[in-house]
A and B are shown apart, each in its own frame.
Chain A
Amino acid sequence: MKNVLRTMRAQRGWSQAELAERLGVSRQTVNSIETERYEPSLTLAFRIASLFGERIEALFTPDPPH
Chain B
Amino acid sequence: MSHPRPFHSIANRWRIVTSFSLWGATYVGVRLLLDTPVAGGWRAALALVPLPFFLWLLVELIRALRVMDELERRIQLEALAVAFPLSLVLFMTLALLEIALPLDPANWSYRHIWPFLTIFYATGLTIARRRYQ
Secondary structure of the A side of the interface? helix
Say yes or no: A26 contacts B8, CB within 8 Å: yes
Instruction: Say yes or no: is A8 at the interface (Cβ < 8 Å to chain B).
Output: no
A-contact 0/1 string along B5-34, CB 8 Å cutoff: 111100000000000000000000000000
Q: Is the CB of A41 within 8 A of B6?
A: no
Q: Which secondary structure characterizes the binding site on chain B?
A: loop
What CA separation (Å) do A23 and B132 show in the bound complex?
18
List the B residue with the shortest CB-CB distance to A41: B70
Chain B hits for A25, CB < 8 A = 3-4, 6, 69-71
Complex interface: chain A residues within 8 A of B112 (CB): none
Q: Is B133 an interface residue (CB 8 A)?
A: yes
Q: How far is the CB of B34 from chain A (nearest CB, A)?
A: 41
A48 vs B132: C-alpha distance when bound (angstroms): 19
Known: A37-B131, A38-B132. A24 touches B3 (CB 8 A): yes
Closest-by-CB residue of A relative to B5 is A24
Contact among B6, B70, B133 with A37 in the assembled complex (CB-CB below 8 Å):
B133
Complex Cα distance A32/B72, Å?
A: 11
If A28-B132, A32-B132 touch, does A38 touch B5 (CB 8 Å cutoff)?
no
- Name the residue of chain A whose CB is nearest to the CB of B69: A25
Known contacts A24-B4, A24-B5; A29/B72 CB under 8 A:
yes
Q: How large is the interface on A (under 10, 10 to 19, 20 to 34, 35 or more residues)?
A: 10 to 19
Q: A residues touching B (Cβ–Cβ < 8 Å)?
A: 20, 23-29, 31-32, 37-38, 40-41, 44, 47
Across the interface, name the chain B residue whose C-beta is closest to A50. Answer: B1
A41 CB contacts on chain B under 8 angstroms: 70
Q: Is the CB of A38 within 8 A of B69?
A: no
Q: Is B3's CB under 8 angstroms from A26's CB?
A: no
Q: Cβ of B71: which chain A residues have Cβ within 8 Å of it?
A: 25-26, 28-29, 32, 38
Chain B residue, CB-CB nearest to A21: B6
